Amino acid sequence: MTTVRTRFAPSPTGYLHVGGARTALFSWLYARRFGGKFVLRVEDTDLERSTEAAEQAILDGLQWLGLDYDEGPYYQTQRFERYREIARQLLDEGLAYHCYCSQERVDAVREAARSQGLKPRYDGHCRDRHGAAPAGVTPVLRFKNPLDGEVVFDDQVFGRIAVANSELDDLVLIRRNGAPMYNFAVVVDDSDMRITHVIRGEDHINNTPRQINILQALGAHVPQYAHVPLIRGGDGKKLSKRHGAVSITQYRDEGFLPEAMLNYLARLGWSHGDEEIFDLDRLTQLFDVADVNRAPSVFDQDKLRWLNQHYVKAADSERLQALLSEQFDALGLDAANGPPLAETVEALRERAPTLADMAHASDYFYSEFDAFDEKSAKKHLTVGSAPVLQRLQECLGKVENWQRPPLEAAVTQVSEALSLKMGKVAQPLRVAISGRAATPPIDVTLALVGRERTLSRLSKAQEYVAARTAGAES
RNA sequence: GUCCCCAUCGUCUAGUCGGCCUAGGACACCGGCCUCUCACGCCGGCAACAGGGGUUCGAAUCCCCUUGGGGACGCCA
């Protein structure tokens, strides 16, 4: 039995988007599940659009997700000689031909077909051309696609698909500049690299019959195909920037955890009963492309956030601290200017879906906030809160041991002394020291904000209330 | 336009080759409990088999049509 060999073959013309990441994951999982090899191949035949930056972004994305490859990366630009060799072979065997048609003629032919309600196709003008080649014209090499019959293949996801050869035209194998076209390079590579299972996006389903025809002309083995449905945006359209982040590294930068992304991606189009939580080991043990759904699915950030929250709650503290530190850097916050990161992480890990959220929710521990949140101040820093704030200022000022128990005792003492419910005391205090109405428990918040900042912010809050009172009286 | 494909709650999906489905789970949403706020957690609720024909004792599950949606038609990948 031949070993399974799958591949991920991105073209370095943009970042790694979530759809690509998912097909990479599926290919990786399939190889792992069946003890095979996962090959990485960079399809950089488009010399104009390929960039090193894009390639790096793709590699970074794969590494972040932990999708390691056993072979590669192979580069198609380094295999041009091989493509030309095969092209020559096809030409010699009469399975391909030179085409001297101008771009204008080809466009005109397509346009004519379209206006007649037909599929735009090359008309095979040069296929049966006789006589000398036109002088001064560099030809492209076209494949002699079979004229009749049909191509049938059993897709592991979609089942049997049949396409009539009459629907296909003679596609270009080698362009005028000598570079191979996608469909040709893919076929040569998949064959040379002994790929057994081609797992790719559904948008390639129409390329498959063409590729199979070329493979057969080459006398090469036809691999198993598995086309994965595309990921859509909330409006049903192809996922794009309009729908939010699509770049995998952007999710990384926004403080998502790779295990959450992997879990989410795996569940998009695939499931195992009612299970929702899967780690890579579990997936490796259960995943099969044959179980992937046929219908396209919509990328739901809410569910991704929920999963991320789940993993944040379970993550190792030191790891979260390092990640939070990166978020601080991005926000220009100095972790040295506040409580230990470990304490911040503990206080916020259950109330921050992402590390970016955590950073935003803890900024007031490390820097002064510009202003009180308007709504919160209006509701809690009222005229009536003046005596509360004053009493808090006194009692907290006396706390020497700035730890949670004595801090909580102080706050409780104020509420009892003024015969006020805890909420009437804690909320004004909370807004005063954090600028907002939602923070961790008040004793935790006090401890994290620190003595000095608490007392100075309490003073500011009292000034704010006083100013507000004056404004109300005038 | 032509070809290919798809169709269960708003979203991700379960639904073994038809009966156990008065269609299950999760996210989101709504309500409750907990409670100093938020969050977590727990409890409860709302919500779907696109429509129409068949086949069958019986269909979300099989077949056909309609409708809707997507993809592909490049000297891009």
Percentage of chain A beyond pLDDT 90 is 86
Question: CA-to-C1' distance for A302 and B11, Å?
Answer: 9
Question: CA-to-C1' distance for A457 and B6, Å?
Answer: 59
What is the nearest nucleotide to A203, using C1' and CA? B71
Residue A417 exposure: Cα atoms within 13 Å on the Cβ side: 15
The whole-angstrom separation of Cα A373 and Cα A347 is 21
- Write down the pLDDT at residue A472: 65
What is the nearest nucleotide to A172, using C1' and CA? B75
pLDDT digits (tens, 9 = 90+) for A54-95: 999 999 999 999 999 999 899 999 999 999 999 999 999 999
Residues A27, A9 contacting (CB under 8 angstroms): no
Q: Is the CB of A293 under 7 A from strand B?
A: yes
Measured on CA atoms in the order A98, A101, A103, A105, is the torsion positive or negative? negative
pLDDT digits (tens, 9 = 90+) for A193-217: 999 999 999 999 999 999 999 999 9
3-class SS of residue A16: coil
The whole-angstrom separation of Cα A474 and Cα A465 is 14
Angle between helices A386-397 and A404-417 (to 10 degrees): 140
Q: Is the CB of A450 under 7 A from strand B?
A: no
* Whether the predicted pLDDT of A406 surpasses 70: yes
pLDDT digits (tens, 9 = 90+) for A214-243: 999 999 999 999 999 999 988 877 787 777
Please state the rounded mean pLDDT for residues A383-396.
Answer: 92
Question: CA-to-C1' distance for A423 and B35, Å?
Answer: 10
Percentage of chain A beyond pLDDT 70 is 98
Please state the rounded mean pLDDT for residues A260-265.
Answer: 97
A218-257 residues near strand B (Cβ < 7 Å): 230, 232, 234, 236-238
- Identity of residue A41: R
Q: What is the ipTM of this complex?
A: 0.95
Q: What's the burial of A344, exposed, middle or buried (CB within 10 Å: 0-12/13-18/19+)?
A: buried
Least confident of A1-5, A369-373, A455-459: A1-5
| Model confidence, pTM | 0.94
Chain B positions with an atom below 7 A of a protein C-beta are 1-8, 10-15, 24-28, 35-41, 69-77
Residue A116 exposure: Cα atoms within 13 Å on the Cβ side: 10
* Whether the predicted pLDDT of A100 surpasses 80: yes
**Integer angstrom CA distances of residue A276 from A258, A259, A267, A270, A413:** 16, 13, 7, 11, 46
